[in-house]
Structure 1
Amino acid sequence: MTEAVIRDEEWQRLHPLSPLLRGGVVLIAVIGYVASQFFDRFLSSINLDGILPGPDIGIGPAGEDGALEQVVAHPFLALLALVLLVAGVAGVNWVAWRFARFRVAGGQVELRTGVLFRQHRQVRLERVQAVELSRPILARLFGLASVVVQSAGGSDSQLALSFIDLRRAEALREHLLTLAGQSEVVLAPTDDSMATPPTMGDAVPSPRAPVVAVPVVEVPNGRLFVATILHGSTIFLVAVLFGALITAGVLSVGPLALAGVPAMLPAAFFILLGRGKEMLTHGNFRLVDVGTGVRVTEGLTDLRTMTIPLNRVQALEVVQPLWWRPLGWWRVRVNVAGVGSSGSGDGEGERETTLLPVGTFDDALRVLARLAPQVPVSGWNDAVLGEGPQPGWQTSSARARLFDPLSWRRNGWSDTEGAVLLRSGRLTRRAVAVPHARIQSLTLQQDWLQASRGVATLHVIPAPGPISPVVDHLDTEAAHDAFARLNERARDARRGAGPADLPLAPDPTGLVDWTQHRSGVPEPGRLDPL
């Protein structure tokens, strides 16, 4: 740990290159725009008559040029304007850097920024949920990193120290975790650590010692690229274009059949943008076990390292879309306390809730074994691959065929020693596990059509997140039995769980405390249609 980190009470500065990194994107955009203007001027000065058909592509008469075009037309003026712009941006960022300070003191992390409009932000250490390292591509070139402190208030209460030297950032992250009482542990070495999930007996608390990270799974970028392309939106786009080409050939109408293709360009752009964003987010994916949680490192342009403690995991889901089935690939997602359903809206929630973007079934089992060791492998096999009334599983009856003609045999639930398993879907197969102690409430729903068929839908509600566990269209009597059993199991699990086993449920996130919200068991026959 560096000396600068140990001196908690002193105000410290960020790295001197921080202004350059914060203004780097603006400078790149300006330089790109100026370069494009030079290129347009160059093309307009070339006589293309006889080379390309059509009208002249010049940008117009000289008298119609704007002020920017006139500046670009003179190289010395353009260079002077660029230098002045760079100097202005650098000066503003330098002044901002001079007034930026941070320190760790009085049981909190503090950050002061601003010159004219000053801001002082504080995060209490006992409210810290996680401390992450973010390394955008420009920061990686200079060996810097951003320390992101996440508190219990969600994305709006994040505090980012951008940027700090990498070794100093790693030491600061470890120091903050130690002060917050979330120190990682050193695992006792084993010969088959990749095959056997760790237990708390194998963990040796060591806040100051270096963490021995046990690799769990890595995702090759090639596999991630193929899986990103094999998405419903891209498949739909390719199918539409292929249909247009077939129509043009069959009807012999030539380009007339393709007249609507340009109208699809905006949709294609946003589809490709979303696919590219997912690739950039989950590239270089690597997950390791650190005893009390899992550490995820991912990102192509913004390499980010985050640790998710096991006591913050509220629900787990393994899903296989139809187009991944021939390749045998699966995705694992989780609900994390304090993250919510969509995170901050800029991909941060997806980063923390996707613990395997794409992998084989064995990869998925290794991840699930670390996150939910109370669920046996046989339980995951039945939940993921099974269908029909298997031993220990309660599924929908033939009365649900009207609502789920393809998946009614598969939809069901099973109760294990420490968690409830739910499965659904035939085209897109899903399996969800919710530990009993993480069940916040239970809900039974039945509309008039379901009441006429004698079925009802059971919702198992954990902390908010992308996973919404539900068992569709159980027989009404079976749904009441499931409601009563899970309600009792959840109550007993919450009573028997120690403080270390329960997640931090802060008020700002809207998480419901079990002692304040406990669903009662409705009487059979009293389930009124909605």
Structure 2
Amino acid sequence: MNPSEAENGPEAPNAPGAERAPETPRRRTHPITPLVTGWKIVVAIVAVVSAQNIARLVNDFSVSKALIGAGVILAAVVIAIVLSAISWWFMTYAVDEEGVSLHTGVISKSREYAPRARIESVSVERPLLARLLGLAKVRVEIAGGGESYLDIEYVKSADAEQLRQRILGVAARARTPEGESPDQSEGAAADAPQADRDAAHRTEGTHETSTVDGTGEDAPGALQKLLYDGVTDGDMIATIPTGRLVRSLVRDLGFLVGIVMSILGLGVAIGLGIWTDGFSFAMIIALAPAAFTVLKYVFGKIESGWGFVSRDTDRGLRMRRGLANTRTDNIASGRVQRFSVRRPLLWRTPDWTAVTVTVAGIDDDDENGAQSVLPVGTREELGATLGHLAAPLGTDDDLAALEHLLTAKAREIHGIRTPARLFWISRRTDVTVLLPGALIHRSGILTRTVEIVPRERIQQTTLSEGPLSRRLGVLDLAVHVAGEDLHISAIPLQDALALHGTLARDARTLRRYRDREQWPQPILGRSSTAPHASQEDR
């Protein structure tokens, strides 16, 4: 649910003698925004009409009817642009020291507001058409719900970057550490981009930089800035060459099986159509959406890691990805609620790993979303990414412990496993380990997945027992964190009760807001500038 509230009328005037604070000037988005948003309405209308009347359109085709159809489409384009222009005129936004506000609506007006203390991250998205026109969308993610965000669409790409930095600066000043004046915090926020540039110069030559064509050669400064949408400041954490991305897709059995099954399904549909009604152009047109879905799936997989680069900056982990549609995202160190580390079967030889995270307030878990912090990375990139985002696990060598969890058989891992023979797959694949810093659950046959929940992020634990579980002497445990839950099935009764008691105590004691200065921090993150968590993500 978007953080919006209806505008019921004019605000009440200030009390007599009270001084009215100067109102921040409101701004509109770019004037050609209606052209970018209006085409979606036209495409939707054409798709619905074509899908329902494709056979009649093909059989009754004539030049006069084609001209009439073109005229109708042209009229729909004009109407869509006019409606979008009216909506654009009544949409304004403002950024001040209290947060970000967005006013929309013609007849029914609404206000959306993002208080600065609840701003989680700011991303810049560039869909294909907007990118061709030099525009970008700014999305402000807000703590408090899965779909809590504000979209400012569209502004010039250069203005979008400045707007992103300004909003992040406002959010950083809301989390000024105790004992530091707001002026100092503001100065640090203003100097952050320069600090990132200095860090980049200091580390130049120590990190391998790969261009998007996968050659591994250093691109010139201007070209590199263009290819990576300006994400060139800060310490390099990970970069994905195109060659590795393509090889990872070829080695992903889930991706290959999905493609093969989709192609077989299309082939069967075409064969049945020819067998029953004979070959016709209308049948091919009717199956075009299914073929388009397959191509979109393949392209989405490629785009999720194309040109991916992540860097450590004073505002957290900054990432860039995308081919036709590009985006840049920020995730602050110490704000991650849950990690998911995935390694398919054929990725084990080159030691490639994918990492996704759960952040309170960010519900963008698709392959091209902000929660994918490492689409396919090497062991060194895995260690650097987790080192900048995750607090220590509490072992002598966290990366070695994680590698053991990903590569070893379940019976070779010291932890909790189900004793029930009925769950014969889980007995051989699933294991739960409680470390000093995190609860870890390993699962999967062909694709091994390690779920990591920092113990100080746990909010609640729940035990459940069904008729079958009661007879088998096992319990199911659900571990709740902000944004997502971890479910562990068929744990032995005594182990489940002991684990539940330990995690419940963690939920009561490890996340006290008054003790936030002692909360665990990532060992490689810039803890001095990392924002403190707000009460919403406790």
Under a length normalisation based on structure 2, what TM-score does the superposition of the two structures give? 0.67
RMSD: 4.5
Tell me which residue corresponds to 1:11.
Answer: 26
Tell me which residue corresponds to 1:69.
Answer: 66
Structure 2 residue 303 is the aligned partner of structure 1 residue 276: no
Structure 2 residue 473 is the aligned partner of structure 1 residue 477: no
Bigger Rg, structure 1 or 2: 1
Tell me which residue corresponds to 1:110.
Answer: 101
Distance of 1:450 and 1:86 partners within structure 2:
59
Match of 2:534 among 500, 504, 509: 504
Which one-letter code corresponds to 2:422 in the other structure?
L
Q: 1:267 to 1:232 in 2, by over 3 A?
A: farther
Q: 1:283 to 1:439 in 2, by over 3 A?
A: same
Kindly indicate whether structure 1 or structure 2 has the higher relative contact order, using CA contacts under 8 Å at least 6 residues apart.
Answer: 2
Shift of 1:367: 1.8
Task: State the secondary structure of the residue aligned to 1:400.
Answer: coil
Tell me which residue corresponds to 1:121.
Answer: 112
Shift of 1:272: 4.5
Give a deviation string over 1:220-270, Cα, whole Å, max 9, x none: 34544454564536515626978999x9xxxxxxx899969x999687664
Distance of 2:300 and 2:232 partners within structure 1:
31
Structure 2 residue 479 is the aligned partner of structure 1 residue 464: no
Distance of 1:99 and 1:370 partners within structure 2:
42
The answer as to whether partners of 1:244 and 1:258 remain within 8 angstroms in 2 is: no
Structure 2 residue 322 is the aligned partner of structure 1 residue 305: no
Greater Cα offset, 186-195 or 99-108: 186-195
Q: 1:82 to 1:421 in 2, by over 3 A?
A: closer
Give a deviation string over 1:286-311, Cα, whole Å, max 9, x none: 22222452112122232111111123
Task: State the secondary structure of the residue aligned to 2:382.
Answer: helix
The answer as to whether partners of 1:332 and 1:354 remain within 8 angstroms in 2 is: yes
Tell me which residue corresponds to 1:232.
Answer: 254
Please list, as runs of the form range in 1=range in 2, the aligned pairs for 1:192-231 lying within 5 A after superposition.
212-225=233-246, 227-228=248-249, 230=252
Q: 1:194 to 1:461 in 2, by over 3 A?
A: farther
Give a deviation string over 1:2-22, Cα, whole Å, max 9, x none: xxxxx9821223223323322
Task: State the secondary structure of the residue aligned to 2:172.
Answer: coil
Task: State the secondary structure of the residue aligned to 1:395.
Answer: coil
Which one-letter code corresponds to 1:107 in the other structure?
E
Under a length normalisation based on structure 1, what TM-score does the superposition of the two structures give? 0.68
Q: 1:454 to 1:132 in 2, by over 3 A?
A: same
Match of 2:344 among 321, 326, 329: 321
Tell me which residue corresponds to 1:48.
Answer: none
Which one-letter code corresponds to 1:23 in the other structure?
G
Structure 2 residue 311 is the aligned partner of structure 1 residue 288: yes
Structure 2 residue 359 is the aligned partner of structure 1 residue 336: yes
Match of 1:359 among 374, 377, 383: 377
Tell me which residue corresponds to 1:442.
Answer: 461
Distance of 1:243 and 1:97 partners within structure 2:
43
Tell me which residue corresponds to 2:4.
Answer: none
Tell me which residue corresponds to 1:379.
Answer: 401
The answer as to whether partners of 2:309 and 2:319 remain within 8 angstroms in 1 is: yes
Structure 2 residue 35 is the aligned partner of structure 1 residue 20: yes
Task: State the secondary structure of the residue aligned to 1:130.
Answer: strand
Q: 1:95 to 1:257 in 2, by over 3 A?
A: closer
Give a deviation string over 1:476-530, Cα, whole Å, max 9, x none: 2233333333333444422484169564354xxxx7x6xxxxxxxxxxxxxxxxx
Tell me which residue corresponds to 2:132.
Answer: 141
Distance of 1:418 and 1:133 partners within structure 2:
33
Distance of 1:124 and 1:289 partners within structure 2:
25
Distance of 1:242 and 1:127 partners within structure 2:
48
Q: 1:303 to 1:240 in 2, by over 3 A?
A: closer
Give a deviation string over 1:401-460, Cα, whole Å, max 9, x none: 43134x525532333332222222333211122111101122334444444444434333
Q: 1:348 to 1:415 in 2, by over 3 A?
A: closer
Q: 1:291 to 1:401 in 2, by over 3 A?
A: farther
Tell me which residue corresponds to 2:12.
Answer: none
Structure 1 gap ranges (5+): 1-6, 41-56, 73-77, 196-209, 248-254, 514-530
The answer as to whether partners of 2:123 and 2:138 remain within 8 angstroms in 1 is: yes
Distance of 2:46 and 2:291 partners within structure 1:
28
